[in-house]
């Protein structure tokens, strides 16, 4: 879905005027905000990936709790 913005030079108009008109036309069309919003968009994680990550976190938490209980790891203090 490409939105093309076209500006043609008319009569005795100088290039700065054409550039100014082009800039205004691009701003008015809303192309830049859409492109910028897509630029930093991250993909949503699948349910399987989320599930695996959660299970990994839970297992690690269990291991850390056991190590703290055995005295092999210090508990973080705030």
What local confidence, expressed as pLDDT, does residue 3 receive? 65
Residue 6, pLDDT score: 87
Mean of pLDDT values over 28-51? 89
Residue 1 in this model has a pLDDT that exceeds 60: no
**Domain check: are 49 and 75 in the same one?**
yes
DSSP H or E run through 61: helix 47-70
Rounded-to-integer distance, Cα 65 and Cα 32, Å: 50
Residues 6 or more apart whose Cβ sits within 8 Å of residue 3: 29, 31
Provide the domain limits for residue 21: 13-42
63 plus 74 within the same structural domain: yes
Instruction: Note whether residue 7 is domain-resident.
Output: no
Q: How many domains does the chain have?
A: 2
Q: Distance (Å, rounded) from C-alpha 36 to C-alpha 33?
A: 5
Question: Does one domain contain both 49 and 28?
Answer: no
* 56 and 68 fall within a common domain: yes
Instruction: Kindly indicate the confidence band of residue 43, based on its pLDDT and cuts at 50, 70 and 90.
Output: confident
How does pLDDT run across 49-74, given as a tens digit for each residue?
A: 999 999 999 999 999 999 999 999 99
5 occurs within a structural domain: no
């Amino acid at each position: 879905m490409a939105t093309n913005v076209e500006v043609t030079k008319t009569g005795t108009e100088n290039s700065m005027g054409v550039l100014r008109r082009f800039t205004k036309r691009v701003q008015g069309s809303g192309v830049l905000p859409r492109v910028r919003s897509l630029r930093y968009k991250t993909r949503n994680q699948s349910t399987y990936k989320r599930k695996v990550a959660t299970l990994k976190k839970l297992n690690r938490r269990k291991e850390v709790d056991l190590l703290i209980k055995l005295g092999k790891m210090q508990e973080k203090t705030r």
